């Protein structure tokens, strides 16, 4: 399953085998995008299907294997289906024949654990209608809506789509501004973007593109240049930007080039505030100084890419942390949204990338285990700023803004 590469709302379809999950997906999409068979267990692994909900927008439906699968392979499929709860924005539980048992209860436990909104579809209602008793029981026990559905009834489809619109969290499809509370009409924002071995050929990386678009959306002006052009640009033009944003890897050079009265931060720090648990990052980043010999640090890189010989997560950050602390530290890097190879308890610190390729919910759930276990968490950009001695400056634009509103960090 290709994970974490689509920013549309993710909707998971779950249920026991042969309950008609794939038929529901085909009906909602208006086309045969999922294999349908009378044979139980046709869907073996979670598979993404993209389609447009009229009047709402594009979504990703995730078709999952039956949560009652059997045998050793079946148990692995169930585990994958339950893992899917971590990457979706909402779930749909499919039942039929008025049956609701242990497998459905187990799934709802996962929904609750990851704060995943859901509703229940009683499928194949043309054969057997949903009993009022079961509907009332489920609505009472789980505070969710339960509706009848049949693929041969058009009205059923309309009811499900309306329920999706009401249930899917607003945060999964509305994109908040990266900089809207920091910049104003006509402000000039300086973007320092090195072109090195890790820069994609012929284009810019996604956080840079997102930032440029956000600046334009806020009727401000984006000036983009490489790090070696900064000094000459500021001297020749006399322009004083309202904000400067740099690639985290050249924080130190940017700090030296940008006058102290101009706010400076990094692309990764901007993304940390938008998608990550920023308060936990602020709390966890300074814990870097407390690392000891033998501690293990986990780096979560939520997109998969070909790593270069001087890769940021695999090489540079470990080197910088080791040099900063002077300690013998072990490092693990996990790319994509794959399962960890070690228990979370093995780690003294978890460092998450900016998460430009995954949804807010996916990133939050990626860190949930560490946060629940009180393991310090940080972000690539904030970690780099900390070990390079410019952490306070890098977070200042956001901490100041928050303190003006809440006095939280004063």
Q: What is the pLDDT of residues 338-387, one digit of tens each?
A: 778 899 999 999 999 888 777 788 888 889 999 999 999 999 999 999 99
- Whether the per-residue pLDDT at 63 is higher than 70: the answer is yes
Please name each of the domains of the chain with its CATH number.
Answer: 10-172 (3.40.50.300), 188-270+392-406 (3.40.50.11420), 279-387 (3.40.50.11410)
Count of all residues that appear for the chain in the document = 410
Answer whether 354's CB lies under 8 Å from 379's CB.
Answer: yes
Query: How large is the average pLDDT for residues 283-288?
Result: 97
Buried b or exposed e, range 6-43, using 16+ CB within 10 angstroms: bbbbbbbbbbbbbbbbbbbbbbbbeeebbebeeeebbb
pLDDT at 197: 53
pLDDT at 46: 65
Most confident by average pLDDT, 10-14, 21-25, 335-339: 10-14
Most confident by average pLDDT, 40-54, 186-200, 228-242, 263-277: 228-242
In this predicted model, which residue has the larger pLDDT, 105 or 33? 105
Phi-psi region of 140 (alpha: psi -120 to 50; beta: other; left: phi over 0): alpha
Cβ–Cβ contacts within 10 Å for residue 172, how many? Answer: 19
Q: What is the pLDDT of residues 71-118, one digit of tens each?
A: 888 888 899 899 899 889 999 999 999 999 999 999 999 999 999 999
pLDDT at 204: 77
- Whether the per-residue pLDDT at 128 is higher than 90: the answer is yes
pLDDT at 363: 86
- Whether the per-residue pLDDT at 52 is higher than 90: the answer is no
- Whether the per-residue pLDDT at 207 is higher than 90: the answer is no
- Whether the per-residue pLDDT at 121 is higher than 90: the answer is yes
Query: How large is the average pLDDT for residues 55-70?
Result: 87
pLDDT at 39: 45
Residue 409 — pLDDT band, cuts 50, 70, 90? very low
The mean predicted confidence, pLDDT, of the chain is 86
pLDDT at 306: 45
Rounded CA gap, 1 and 45, in Å?
8
Least confident of 153-157, 219-223, 392-396, 401-405: 401-405
Rounded CA gap, 407 and 410, in Å?
6
Q: Measuring CA to CA, how many Å separate 39 from each of 19, 66, 68, 98?
A: 11, 12, 14, 20
Global confidence as pTM: 0.74
pLDDT at 228: 93
Q: What is the pLDDT of residues 171-202, one digit of tens each?
A: 766 677 899 999 999 999 999 998 765 555 66
pLDDT at 200: 58
Q: What is the pLDDT of residues 302-341, one digit of tens each?
A: 765 444 445 888 899 999 999 999 999 999 999 876 778 8
């Amino acid at each position: 399953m290709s994970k974490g590469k689509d920013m549309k709302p993710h909707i998971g379809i779950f249920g026991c085998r042969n309950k008609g999950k794939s038929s529901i997906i085909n009906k909602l999409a208006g086309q045969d995008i999922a294999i349908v068979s009378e044979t139980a267990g046709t869907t073996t692994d979670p598979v993404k299907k993209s389609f447009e909900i009229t009047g709402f927008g594009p979504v990703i439906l995730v078709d999952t294997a039956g949560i009652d699968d059997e045998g050793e392979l079946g148990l692995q499929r169930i585990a994958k289906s339950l893992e899917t709860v971590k990457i979706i924005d909402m779930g749909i539980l499919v039942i039929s024949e008025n049956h609701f048992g242990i497998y459905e209860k187990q799934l709802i436990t996962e929904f609750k654990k990851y704060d995943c909104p859901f509703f229940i579809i009683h499928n194949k209602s043309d054969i057997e209608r949903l009993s009022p008793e079961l509907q009332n029981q489920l609505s009472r026990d789980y505070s969710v809506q339960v509706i009848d559905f049949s693929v041969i009834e058009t009205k059923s489809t309309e009811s499900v789509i309306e329920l999706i619109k009401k249930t899917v969290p607003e945060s999964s499809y509305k994109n908040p501004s990266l900089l809207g509370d920091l910049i104003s009409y006509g402000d000039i924002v300086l973007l320092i973007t090195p072109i090195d071995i890790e820069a994609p050929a012929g284009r810019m990386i996604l956080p840079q593109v997102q930032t440029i678009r956000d600046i334009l959306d806020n009727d401000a002006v984006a000036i983009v240049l490489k790090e070696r052009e900064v000094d000459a640009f500021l001297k020749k033009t006399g322009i004083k930007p309202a904000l400067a944003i740099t690639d985290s890897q050249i924080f130190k050079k940017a700090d030296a080039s940008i006058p102290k009265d101009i706010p400076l931060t990094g692309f990764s720090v901007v993304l940390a505030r938008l998608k990550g648990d920023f308060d936990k990052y602020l709390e966890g980043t300074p814990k870097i100084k407390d690392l000891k010999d033998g501690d293990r640090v986990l780096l979560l890189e939520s997109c998969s890419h070909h790593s270069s010989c001087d890769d940021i997560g695999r090489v540079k950050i470990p080197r910088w942390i080791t040099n900063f602390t002077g300690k013998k530290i072990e490092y693990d890097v996990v790319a994509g949204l794959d399962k960890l190879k070690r228990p979370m308890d093995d780690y003294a610190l978890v460092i998450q990338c900016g998460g430009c390729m995954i949804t807010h919910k996916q990133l939050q759930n990626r860190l949930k285990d560490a946060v629940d276990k009180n393991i310090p968490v940080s972000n690539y950009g904030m970690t780099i700023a900390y070990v390079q001695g410019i952490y306070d400056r890098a977070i200042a634009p956001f901490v100041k803004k928050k303190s003006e509103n809440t006095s939280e960090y004063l």
